[in-house]
Amino acid sequence: MAPQGSRAELEFGGPLGAAALLLLLPATMFHLLLVARSGPARLLGPPPYLPELEELWSPWALLLCLTWLGLQAALYLLPARKVAEGQELKDKSRLSYPINGFQALVLTALLVGLGVLAGLPLSALPEMLLPLAFAATLIAFIFSLLLYLKALVAPASALAPGGNSGNPIYDFFLGRELNPRICSFDFKYFCELRPGLIGWVLINLALLMQEAELRGSPSLAMWLVNGFQLLYVGDALWHEEAVLTTMDIIHDGFGFMLAFGDLAWVPFTYSLQAQFLLYHPEPLGLPLASVICLINGQSGRGSALPPPFIRSLFIQHPLAVGYYIFRGANSQKNAFRKNPSDPRVADLETISTATGRRLLVSGWWGMVRHPNYLGDLIMALAWSLPCGVSHLLPYFYLLYFTALLVHREARDEQQCLRKYGLAWHAYCRRVPYRIVPYIY
Ligand code: NDP
C-alpha cells in the first residue's frame, strides 16, 4: 500500500501550492474587503490602497473575535436535542456529535436582539470589518499551529488520509488529525458550521442595519441577499447532522485550510454581496429590470412596476430551484448513508462496491455525480443577481465557488476511485456527467 500522503497523492500543488495558498487566501480576503468599500469596486486590478498596520490591528477586534468564539463554544456545550453518531472510523469506532447548531443560531439571535434593544451598536460592525478579519486570520494561524502540534502526539489511527506527507507546510495547510478533540469537544465539527456561518449572517445583518441608518431603510436587494443567505445558514444548521457525511468531516484533516476557511474566509468574503450593496446601492438589478420590461412592455416607475412578489419572483426562482436540488441531494445521500433501508431511499437503485457500501445510481445521484454542487451553484447565482450586473465584484463568490466545487469534485472523484475502484468506474459510466447535466 502506498504511504499515506505520498508525493504522488499530494493535493493543491503539493508544498509549493500549499505555501502559495497560505498567503493568497488571506491576501484575497483583504483585497475583497478593501475593494468592496472603494468607489470603483474593481474585482480585478490592484487594491485601492494598502492598509497600515494600525488600520488592521485592534486589540478590541481580537477581544470581540475571542468573545464570539467563547459564546459559540458555550452554546455548543449546552444540552443538545440529539446526539448523532459519525461515520465509522479506521479503528471501527464512531464519534458522537451534539446536534444543537440551530439552537445556537436561535439563542445567538435572541442575545443579539436583546443586545440591540439594550443599545448594542451593531450597525458599527461594518466599520470594524478589516480589524475583525485581521484578528480572525491571526486566530486561524495560531489555532492551526496548535492543531499541528497536537497531531504530533496523536495515534496513527487518528490521522487524516491526507495531510501527513512529512512536509510541515503542506501538512500545516491540509491538517494532520482527522477529528481533533479535547474530551468530547470536537474542534473541526464546532468550526464547520457555527462561529463562521453564524458570524456571516450577523455581519450581513449589521450591514443591513447600517444601510437603514444611511438611507432610511434597507434596499430590496439587501433584504434579498440577507434573506437568501440566512436561509442557507439556517438550513445548514437545521440539517446539521448532514455535515457528518461530507468530505470535510470524513476525509480532510483539520488544519489551516479548514480553520481559516471556517473562521475568516466564510464570514468576511461570503458577506461580500451585502458589503457591496452598502457602498453601491442597487435598487433594481439589470436582469430584474429586463424581466420587468418584458412583462410590462415598458419601463418606468410606480404603476409600471409589477407587484413586489412578481418582481422578486425572478430572483427567488433560481434560489428555489437551487435550494430544491441542493437540499434534496444532500438529504437523500445523508439518509442513505445513515440507513440504506430508510423508506425515503429504500426504493432507489444502487450498485454494490467491494467495500460493502453501496452507491446510489438513481434519484438525485443518478442525475449527475454531484447534484448537491449544482444546487449550491444555482443558489450562488441567485445571491449575486440582486447586486445587478454593473460590477463583477458581487459575482466573485459565484466564480470562486465554481472553481472550488470543480476542484473539490475532482478531489472527491479521486478519493471515491481509491475507495470503490471498479464500482466507481461503473457509476461513472452509468452517470456520465459530474455537476451539470449534458454539459460537465
Ligand atoms: P458530498 O456531500 O458531495 O460528499 C461526497 C461523498 O458522498 C463521497 O466521498 C462519497 O462518500 C459519497 N457519495 C458520492 N457519490 C455517492 C453516491 N452516488 N451514492 C452514495 N454516496 C455517494 O461532499 P462535500 O462535502 O463536498 O459537499 C457537501 C455539501 O456542502 C454540498 O452541498 C456542497 O455544495 C457544500 N459545500 C459548500 C461549501 C461552501 O463554502 N458554501 C464548501 C464546500 C461544500 P462515501 O461513499 O464514503 O459516503
The domain that holds 396 is classified in CATH as: 1.20.120
Q: Which of 376, 404, 428 to mutate to test the pocket of ligand 1 (most atoms within 8 A of CB)?
A: 376
The pLDDT assigned to 127 comes to 93
Buried b (16+ CB within 10 A) or exposed e, 100-113: bbbbbbebbbeebe
Chosen domain end from 282, 301, 323: 282
Answer whether residue 10 is part of any domain: no
Give the residue from 333, 330, 338 showing the smallest Cα distance to 359.
333
What is the Å distance from ligand 1's center to 369 Cα?
Answer: 10
The pLDDT assigned to 68 comes to 98
Answer whether residue 11 is part of any domain: no
Number of domains within the chain: 2
pTM over cut 0.75:
yes
Bridge partners of residue 352, in order along the sequence: 358
Answer whether residue 5 is part of any domain: no
Which ranges of 175-243 would DSSP assign to H, the alpha helix?
187-193, 195-215, 220-238
User: Cβ(123) to ligand 1 under 6 A?
Assistant: no
Assess whether 346 and 198 both reside in one domain: no
User: Cβ(258) to ligand 1 under 6 A?
Assistant: no
Answer whether residue 12 is part of any domain: no
Continuous segment of H or E residues that includes residue 360: strand 358-360
Take residue 258 and report the three cell numbers written for it: 479548514
Assess whether 333 and 426 both reside in one domain: yes
| Protein residue closest via CA to atom 43 of ligand 1 | 405
Assess whether 74 and 167 both reside in one domain: yes
CB count in 10 Å sphere of residue 428: 15
What is the Å distance from ligand 1's center to 247 Cα?
Answer: 6
Assess whether 234 and 342 both reside in one domain: no
Assess whether 336 and 247 both reside in one domain: no
The pLDDT assigned to 307 comes to 38
User: Cβ(245) to ligand 1 under 6 A?
Assistant: yes
User: Cβ(372) to ligand 1 under 6 A?
Assistant: yes
| Protein residue closest via CA to atom 1 of ligand 1 | 246
Assess whether 166 and 192 both reside in one domain: yes
Residue found under cell 475507495: 419
Take residue 323 and report the three cell numbers written for it: 435550494
Assess whether 259 and 379 both reside in one domain: no
Give the residue from 181, 273, 291, 285 showing the smallest Cα distance to 229.
273
What is the Å distance from ligand 1's center to 265 Cα?
Answer: 20
Answer whether residue 7 is part of any domain: no
Can you give the residue range of the structural domain that contains 247?
Answer: 19-43+53-282
Assess whether 278 and 288 both reside in one domain: no
Assess whether 247 and 296 both reside in one domain: no
3-state secondary structure of 98: strand
* Whether 86 contacts 249, CB under 8 Å: yes
Assess whether 257 and 317 both reside in one domain: no
Chosen domain end from 282, 314, 345: 282
Q: Measured between alpha carbons, how far is 26 from 32 in angstroms, rounded to an integer?
A: 10
Assess whether 270 and 320 both reside in one domain: no
Chosen domain end from 282, 316, 345: 282
Answer whether residue 440 is part of any domain: yes
Assess whether 247 and 306 both reside in one domain: no
User: Cβ(330) to ligand 1 under 6 A?
Assistant: yes
Answer whether residue 9 is part of any domain: no
Answer whether residue 78 is part of any domain: yes
Q: What is the residue-level pLDDT of the chain in tens, covering all 440 positions?
A: 333 444 457 889 999 999 999 999 999 999 999 999 988 888 898 888 999 999 999 999 999 999 999 999 999 999 988 999 998 888 888 999 999 999 999 999 999 999 999 999 998 999 999 999 999 999 999 999 999 999 999 998 899 988 889 999 999 999 999 999 999 999 999 999 999 999 999 999 999 999 999 999 898 889 889 988 998 999 999 999 989 988 899 989 999 999 999 999 999 999 999 999 999 988 755 556 334 233 223 333 333 333 343 344 444 455 578 888 898 999 999 899 888 999 999 999 999 999 889 999 999 999 999 999 999 998 888 888 889 888 999 999 999 999 999 999 998 999 899 999 999 999 999 999 999 999 99
